[in-house]
Amino acid sequence: MKSLLGKLGVILIGLAIVGCAEVWGADWKLFGDHDNYLIYYDTQNITRPSKNIVRVWIRWDYTKKGVMDMVGKFGKKYENLDYLKYLCEINCVEKMIRYLSATYYDNKGKVILSLSYSPEQYSIVPESIAESLYKEVCK
């Protein structure tokens, strides 16, 4: 009986570790909000592929209103939408941003849709979410 309880304990600890893997691998810091979502960036996984370029993951956690809006725009496929993760690249000197990829996840962590973007860069608009991110990562 003790052996069985010991094995069960090890299994439960293992499941807890696996379940917390994303939490340990990322440190999401809130930097923006909207009626439809809260916006975070991952402070632990910021990379600098070159001197003036910063790559950063962004996460949009959808509110109930945000989910309803997405369902209204794109259909029932989004009724279990939980969050969106973007990989962005910011040119800190030129104040430009480009989006490398985006993945929508449901409330069970399953991918709803995954997208890749063209290498086109966009000017960072003053008082936008992109500018808030720029101010956080291009210090």
Q: What is the pTM of this model?
A: 0.77
Residue 8 within a domain: no
Give, in degrees to the nearest 5, the angle at Cα 99 between 93 and 104. Answer: 145
The Cβ-side half-sphere exposure at 44, using a 13 Å CA radius, reads 7
Residue 16 within a domain? no
Domain residues for the domain of 88 are: 26-137
pLDDT at 19 over 70: no
Per the structure, how many domains does the chain have? 1
Question: Residue 45: which CATH number?
Answer: 2.40.128.710
- When the pLDDT of each residue in the chain is averaged and rounded to a whole number, the result is 85
133 in any annotated domain = yes
Domain contains 102 = yes
Domain assignment present for 66: yes
128's torsion region: left (phi>0), alpha (psi -120 to 50) or beta? beta
Residue 25 — very low, low, confident or very high, per pLDDT cuts 50/70/90?
Answer: low
* Residue 37 domain flag: yes
Read off the pLDDT of residues 88-129 as tens digits, 9 standing for 90 and up.
999 999 999 999 999 999 999 999 999 998 889 999 999 999
Is residue 83 situated within a structural domain? yes
Residue 31: inside a domain, yes or no? yes
